[in-house]
Amino acid sequence: MAGRQFGWSRVALLQLFLGVNLMVMPPTQARRLRFVTLLYRHGDRSPVKTYPKDPYQEDEWPQGFGQLTKEGMLQHWELGQALRQRYHDFLNTSYHRQEVYVRSTDFDRTLMSAEANLAGLFPPDGMQRFNPNISWQPIPVHTVPIAEDRLLKFPLGPCPRFEQLQNETRRTPEYQNESIQNAQFLDMVANETGLTNLTLETIWNVYDTLFCEQTHGLVLPPWASPPTMQRLSRLKDFSFRFLFGIYEQAEKARLQGGVLLAQIRKNLTLMATTSQLPKLLVYSAHDTTLVALQMALDVYNGEQAPYASCHIFELYQEDTGNFSVEMYFRNESNKAPWPLILPGCPHRCPLQDFLRLTEPVVPKDWQQECRLASSPADTGELLPASMLAVSQNSLQFISTGLERADALPAVLLQGWQSFSQLRRYMVWGEAHPIPRQLISHPETYSSPSGDAPLLILRENKSNRERTVLSSHHQVFQLTRWYKPPLGASLSTYTLGPSLLTSTRTPVLSVTALLDQCHLKA
């Protein structure tokens, strides 16, 4: 077999990435492994960033931020050796390009992790040694530019519906409770690090930096005590659950990890029909990739995936000729991989059942499902675009389709305290963080332009969408206004003591706007 040379056919490659209908192969003499898919996280790395008051800046790390370390290289070489032992009867002892295909995200640390892994998995043997003194051989690792990666780099975006789900997640009791319970802790960390805009969603960066420094023997600052590190670690795990769970986990999965799962399902299906494809398909990626996939499969253990951890899919052909799928997770280097059980199926899960149970979290049309849509029970309409000019004392609109003020369900807000859960607003279609000072101390905050902080908020009656549309003294192009159904009223908010007024036309005072929108100050 070592001397055989054959390439993948164009049809086979097309089937691998597009998928085919499942067929049952003829019975075999005994159960045997037919196909393996691996998804692993890169190895140990330097921090991806630091914080302003950190005594250890980028020059502390030999290759800079976000780079694979020698420890990380060794971790993946050892994982490669462990995989060689596990699949010694499945893979050839020497590397054959027809048997293995490796895809990585376009980051140095994932590309280098894959190379180190392959060095342990396929050490050169005999004729494959190009130098008797070098026990290594080059093996191709494939990638695509980061901006084009719609398979392994998570969270996937841009996806307006996913961002909407994240906004709704921020309003859940679980998220709100975490915010309240950790408000003082976040303030303390922000003060010690010199960071602004520190939230439940960004504090993982602080933990990551401190963890990397501690792992490499650097002395942590006094405030980073063991209890503080434990609390940071817990909040780091919470940030992963925020991304892919807590609220509407199945729909989030369809927009995130379900995309990768869809490709894995296609590959498993195809390998149940043909043997003219690689036996081993490898994905080298990140902790977010693993969490996104495991959340979609509902097998996530709630903790960050360690360096060089590996999710394994094994496709077996039973002695009946049917196929089954087994999943494992290797998250400890000195232990055998843990069996993972898909809810609703035994560990040896029949392929047809695996496909049926995972179908609900696989998107039919990702781009279509990412689009925003009105709630099915909402009979309001989306109105044509308008131009708004917002300043400190006026709201001016230049209508292209709005002829009455009651078609403009917008509220000018000065009562920031009641909306402290909002963390992002839209400026020219791009998301920007709201300054932390504005959230915690709105009465003392001054915007860069010197205007008082103002927001225009739109909200439909079902409370499913709460999107900040504009801020400060700027002009914004809005693609859609939401008009509530006839007879419906928007929620009532208490505004600050100063209502904005203007006598210029076509400008509405806030009082008139509230009256037209059935709101009251």
- Positions marked catalytic: 42, 287
Cα(167)–Cα(12) distance, rounded to whole angstroms?
A: 42
Residue among 224, 210, 231, 222 nearest 46 (CA): 210
DSSP state of 10: H
Using CA atoms, how far apart are residues 425 and 468, in angstroms rounded to an integer?
Answer: 5
Q: Do residues 124 and 92 touch, judged by C-beta distance below 8 A?
A: no
Burial of 209 (0-12, 13-18, 19+ CB in 10 A): buried
Asked whether the bond before 506 is cis by omega within 30 degrees of 0, the reply is yes
**CA–CA distances in Å: residue 507 to residues 34, 388, 393, 401:** 70, 10, 10, 16
User: Residues with Cβ < 8 Å from 173, sequence gap 6 or more?
Assistant: none
SS3 123: coil
Burial of 418 (C-beta count, 10 Å sphere; 0-12/13-18/19+): exposed
Chain-centre distance of CA 516, in angstroms? 41
Tell me the three state secondary structure of residue 69: coil
Chain centroid, CA 85 distance in Å: 33
Is the CA virtual torsion 279, 283, 287, 289 positive or negative? negative
Q: How would you class 377 by CB atoms within 10 Å of its CB: exposed for 0-12, middle for 13-18, buried for 19 or more?
A: exposed
Say if residues 214 and 207 touch (Cβ distance below 8 Å). no
Assign 513 to helix, strand or coil. Answer: helix
